[in-house]
Amino acid sequence: MATLQGKRALVTGGSRGIGAAIARRLAADGADVAITYERSVERAEAVVAEVVALGRRGMAIQADAADPVAVQAAVDTAAEAFGGLDILVNNAGIIRGGDIEAMTLDDIDAMLNVNVRAVAVASQQAARHMGEGGRIISIGSNLATRVPAPGTSIYSMSKSALIGWTKGLARDLGKRGITVNLVSPGSTATDMNPPDGPSADEQLGRMAIPRFGTADDVAELVAFVAGPQGRSINGADLTIDGGANA
């Protein structure tokens, strides 16, 4: 069912992994979809080709999430191309893990700029283009609320910031009929977290259902929240982690 027919979406970091799956899924549900990427121009164009093959409008915008002016411009470019914006998915994110003593200022700035500041800047800019029924969905992490192993303190800090942001923005935009939510995955098989990576067994050991999630699992939940059936979900942090945080 094309529940998103006529909707116009922007997915940040849509060239690979979870963002690419979200872009495909929103297009399959009827939305026009723009994506941003940092470096993967060919993969971004391949995702856009899939969106267009579904009969939707699609576009890829190179925009480094660490650059707030580029983020604002990407939102404006998508909204101008599509004649407005109904759905923003703040998906672009990075992780730099390791011993806290070894983390550099660049590591800290990079994670805060991409995982937090870009979300605030893109959401603020998107709200300027959105009307009643708008949806702002950010991709958090189950590591925001429980941190079961060392090495992710800065990343966890960046993702936990999105919980307060989501609740606050839901209050800010509720009067305009725009919902704001966080979808917080656990271990999901992507380039960022390959299921045969060095910490995969440790991650599997924490899960109630010992299986890495797929990018499509996360995309399903995002599509539900983005659709008309999600209209009463607001200010929520929706964990999708196979019970790792249970």
Q: Is 92 in the site for ligand NAP (CB under 6 A)?
A: yes
C-alpha distances (whole Å) from 110 to each of 62, 97, 150, 154 are 17, 12, 19, 10
Among 24, 31, 34, 37, binds ligand NAP (CB under 6 A): 37
Closer residue to ligand NAP, CB minimum distance, 43 or 167: 43
Q: Is 114 in the site for ligand NAP (CB under 6 A)?
A: yes
Among 38, 86, 217, 237, binds ligand NAP (CB under 6 A): 38
**Whether the Cβ atoms of residue 86 and residue 36 lie closer than 8 Å to each other:** no
Q: Is 156 in the site for ligand NAP (CB under 6 A)?
A: no
Smallest distance, ligand NAP to C-beta of residue 185, A? 4
Q: DSSP for 127-189? A: HTT--TT-EEEEE--GGGT---STT-HHHHHHHHHHHHHHHHHHHHHHTTT-EEEEEEE-SB-
Q: Count the Cβ atoms, other than its own, within 10 Å of residue 88.
A: 30
Place of tokens 């050991």: 205
Smallest distance, ligand NAP to C-beta of residue 52, A? 18
Smallest distance, ligand NAP to C-beta of residue 168, A? 19
Q: Is 64 in the site for ligand NAP (CB under 6 A)?
A: yes
Q: How far apart are the first and last CA of the chain?
A: 33
Residues that bind ligand NAP (CB under 6 A): 13-19, 36-40, 43, 64-66, 91-95, 114, 139, 141, 185, 187-188, 190-193
